[in-house]
Amino acid sequence: MKKGYWIAAALALAFLGFGLTAFQKTLTPYLSFDEAKKSQGVVQVMGGLDKKSDRYDTDKGELFFDLIDPAGGRMPVSYKGTKPPNFKDAISIVAIGRYQEGRIEAEKLLVKCPSKYQGTEVEKVYPATAPGKAS
């Protein structure tokens, strides 16, 4: 084989290896609250918003709130950044970050709001967070 083919094959393998490691770093598994507490790396946790727990510090630009899982577990979350505009309407929130100092320190929030076609099924999943329900 010619030297050029060997160089091309080596470059292709190098790019393939780089692509696989870059892709693997972006994979963040969903974990339960208990699993997230034991984890050392970046995690994703999902839960309903405890509507009475949120507080936004405008001076520091930091949002604090609690997530509730369907079993009733509670996970405190802090997020540095702008409060999402649809935050209070959320039926579920995904917090992506690290578990430190007794809470998830989120780097990113994914907020899911109800569509006009959703109704009582939201109350079945997260009963304490449904609009109009008391905790």
61 is written with which tokens?
Answer: 């630009």
The pLDDT tens digits for 48-86 are 999 888 899 989 999 999 999 888 889 999 999 988 888
β partners of residue 108: 96
Please say whether the beta carbons of 112 and 93 come within 8 A. yes
Q: What is the 3-state secondary structure (H, E, C) of 78-123?
A: EEECCCCCCHHHCCEEEEEEEEECCEEEEEEEEEECCCCCCCHHHH
> Is the whole model's pTM more than 0.75, yes or no?
no
The pLDDT tens digits for 83-134 are 888 888 888 899 999 999 899 999 999 998 877 655 555 555 555 554 444 4
52 is written with which tokens?
Answer: 């009475």
**104 burial via Cβ count (<10 Å: 0-12, 13-18, 19+):** buried
